[in-house]
A and B are shown apart, each in its own frame.
Chain A
Amino acid sequence: MEKTNTLKTPVIEMKGVVKEYGKGQSAMKALRGIDLSIDSGDFVAVMGPSGSGKSTCMNILGCLDTPTSGEYLFEGVDVGKLSRDQRALIRRYYLGFIFQGFNLLNRTSALENVELPLIYRGIPVRERHLRAKDALKSVGLEGWEKHTPGELSGGQQQRVAIARAIVTQPSILLADEPTGNLDSARSREIMDLLTQFNRERGITILMVTHDPHMAGFASSTVQFLDGMIETEEKKGNHH
């Protein structure tokens, strides 16, 4: 089930996606019909004020949630029709997640944190060690394998989290305000890493951010407002 990089484009397609919370009169529309298409290898910044629906959209894109109506096609598969476990398998084999709060396992070494998704993939111990070490090296944390999150700085923790996300060689990386808890220097490091993975490994990246500077690293920006996509900009030099 290891993915290869010969993917059809677009990798992600949303058609009229609506998400409602609650039912009937009191129903709250978080998304009011989103049409979005993301090609393999894109680096998309998702922006918008809080409550604009960008988080809801990211949850659906990350297969953590399903749309109330409309279609979300992940590599041509209608995710809305999949079971909870089937969506978990898509996350396991195709997606990587980076969170604002890092979400590393406490009192667990950096290496073991990075190994975690490989365990769920049933990769044998030896190969797991090698791949996790490799991933840590690629985020510049060689020699920090034995350290637990408590012993690492915020920037280092986020780099461990990035290593955890890319160790499976996902086709898409979903980053939810990855620099939200970091100062500008650390944020730059993180963005450089993401850009590097996007360019060198062709990993598609979807990144929620409030910061226009961070959005500047992306090849395109999607702006959310009131549950709709307000604007969609592409930088000319990409695609």
Chain B
Amino acid sequence: MLWETFLLAGREIRRNVMRSSLTMLGIVIGVAAVITMVTLGSGATEQVTSDISKLGSNLLQVRPGRDMHRPGGARDAGTPFELADSQAISREISGLKAVAPTAGTSIQVIAGNENVSTTVTGTTSEFLIARDWVLSAGRAFTASEVKSGKSVCILGSTVKKTLFDNQNPVGEMIRLQKIPFRIIGVLEEKGQTGFGMDQDDFVIIPLRAFQRRIAGNTEISTIFVSAKDGADTAKIQRDIERLMRDRRRILPGREDDFRVRDMKEIISTLTSTTKVLTALLGAVAGVSLLVGGIGIMNIMLVSVTERTREIGTRLAIGALERDVLTQFLVESVVLSSLGGVIGIILGLSAAYGLAGFLGVPFILNIGIVVIAFLFSGAVGIIFGYFPARKAAQLDPIEALRHE
């Protein structure tokens, strides 16, 4: 019986293709918009997330200065760290894989006739471990190179490409602020982040060499801490905070003048932006679905009026109120969910095309497809109910007399 009703609904919809398509249009547009936006949004989120996890999983950054997002927290550079702070972290906190103190600056790098401006970071060999960075050629710093601050360097792939094209630069010399450094390694390419930041545009040298020959001081700007797999990063974060408060002699009740951030936090900051956008577009799509639903209600009311005699005949023949109600309800649900299906197909196609165009991965989010489908069906039930009830409650005598 229900199957018959579906067939009947399908026939009624085909009977008036033009009108049915226009009726569905609102739903189609609404659903297509949701699907496109959510699919692109989750693609973008996925990319940002994977970019950031490329920066190193379980990674914490310890930086001087107050958190500027906190209310009343004016930007404050804070006292820089020292090497001893980094050593204290690795000595006193358990569950760590690597602790890498860093200091960096922007500098002119010269190799032969080529020169390029890039970031030079002074650090230890643990830096590569902390950040999960892999060498494509050469080797990392040895302990003695780090200790003595030898003039050796490792290039990011962008710098390598700019200065040496495809030649192997290992063993060559470059000059940083006129001081010659020997290249001992090149890092693998990591590509751009979702926001167009080149992750390969840098040179790393031993911390001591940076402090002595380039910066001329012993300041540490950021300490990278990476936790062992499965370690409790939240606990490590708290431990570092306690340790640093102690070392920096911050009285109880006073705010930290440094900040420990983990990558999850950075990700959530970025994804929350995406979420706000998605919610906004969701609201727009919701309005579109509402309008689409009203369109369906309108057409169903017209249809009930047009088919009054048919309804009368059905009632006379022995259709119950329920039967007529179901018939019209199924018709509006079929109409709206058909609109939903078309919207899903259009939305996914659009998202697929745009994803390629925007360079964002295309991620099929089955959840949202199912939700969109159910939602469009629900629109049919909600907005089809009133016309269907109107049809079901017709007086058969009046309906039969209707012209």
A residues touching B (Cβ–Cβ < 8 Å)? 59, 62, 64-65, 84-85, 88-89, 91-93, 95, 97, 99, 101, 103, 105-107, 116-117, 119-122, 164
A120 contacts which of B309, B323, B397 (Cβ < 8 Å)?
A: B323
Give bound CA distance, A121 to B317, whole Å: 10
Can you sample 22 A-B contacts with CB below 8 Å?
A64-B316, A64-B396, A84-B321, A85-B322, A88-B318, A88-B320, A89-B318, A91-B317, A92-B317, A95-B318, A99-B313, A103-B309, A103-B310, A103-B316, A103-B400, A106-B310, A116-B317, A119-B1, A120-B314, A120-B319, A121-B318, A122-B1
Determine the residue in chain B with the shortest Cβ distance to A113. B313
B321 touches A117 (CB 8 A): no
B15 at the interface (CB under 8 A from A): yes
Q: Does B34 contact A (CB under 8 A)?
A: no
Q: What residue in chain B is nearest A91 (Cβ atoms)?
A: B318
Instruction: Give the chain B neighbours of A89 by CB distance below 8 A.
Output: 318, 320
Report how far A84 CA is from B397 CA in the complex, Å: 13
| Majority secondary structure of chain B interface residues (helix, strand, loop or mixed) | helix
Q: Across the interface, do A65 and B397 meet the contact criterion of CB distance under 8 Å?
A: yes
Q: Give how many A-B residue pairs fall within 8 Å (CB-CB).
A: 55
| A164, B317: Cα distance in complex, Å | 9
Q: How many residues of B contact A (CB 8 A)?
A: 20
Closest 7 CB pairs of A and B: A92-B318, A103-B313, A91-B318, A117-B317, A97-B316, A85-B320, A120-B318
Evaluate contact between B317 and A120: CB separation under 8 angstroms: yes
Q: Which of the listed residues B310, B316, B320, B397 has the most CB atoms from chain A within 10 Å of its own CB?
A: B316
| Chain B residues near A85 (CB-CB < 8 A) | 320-322
Q: Does B114 contact A (CB under 8 A)?
A: no
Interface status of B35 (Cβ within 8 A of chain A): no
A143 to B344, CA, bound (A): 44
Q: B residues within 8 Å of A by Cβ? A: 1, 4, 15, 309-310, 312-323, 396-397, 400
Q: In the complex, what residue of chain B is closest to A55 when comparing beta carbons?
A: B397
Judge whether B310 and A105 touch: CB under 8 Å.
Answer: yes
Cβ-closest chain B residue relative to A97: B316
Residues of A within 8 A of B316 (CB): 62, 64, 91, 97, 103
Chain B residues lying within 8 Å of A92, measured Cβ to Cβ, are 317-319
C-alpha gap A85/B319 in the complex (Å):
8
Q: In the assembled complex, which residues on chain A have CB atoms less than 8 Å from the CB atom of B321?
A: 84-85, 88
CB neighbours (8 Å) of A65 from chain B are: 397
Cα-based distance from A51 to B248 in the complex (angstroms): 105
Point out the residues of chain A lying under 8 angstroms from B317, CB to CB.
91-92, 97, 116-117, 120, 164
Q: Which residues of B contact A117 (CB under 8 A)?
A: 317-318
How far is the CB of B345 from the nearest CB of chain A, in Å? 29
- Which of B1, B313, B400 is within 8 Å of A105, CB to CB? B313
Interface centre among B312, B318, B323, B397 (most CB of A within 10 A): B318
Using A91-B318, A99-B400 as known contacts, say yes or no to A119 and B313 having CB atoms under 8 A apart: no
CA distance A92 to B324 in the complex (A): 14
Least Cβ–Cβ distance between A177 and chain B, in angstroms? 13
Closest-CB distance, A89 to chain B (whole angstroms): 7
The residues of B that contact A91 with a CB separation of less than 8 Å are 316-318
Cα(A95)–Cα(B80), bound, Å = 96
- B1 (CB) vs chain A CBs: closest residue: A122
Question: Least Cβ distance of B392 to chain A in Å?
Answer: 10
Which residues of the other chain, A, contact B15 by a CB distance below 8 angstroms?
107
Minimum distance in angstroms from B237 CB to a CB of chain A? 68
Chain A residues, CB < 8 A from B322: 85
Query: B318: nearest residue on chain A (CB-CB)?
Result: A92
Closest to A93 in B: B318
The interface centre, meaning the residue of B15, B315, B321, B400 with most chain A CB atoms within 10 A of its CB, is B400
Q: Please measure, in the bound complex, the distance between the C-alpha atom of A99 and the C-alpha atom of B312, giving whole angstroms.
A: 11
Q: Which A residues lie within 8 Å of B1 (CB)? A: 119, 122
Name the residue in A64, A65, A97, A107 with the highest tally of chain B Cβ atoms < 10 Å from its Cβ. A64
What A residues does B320 contact at CB under 8 A?
A: 85, 88-89
Q: How far is the CA of A119 from the CA of B318 in the complex (A)?
A: 10
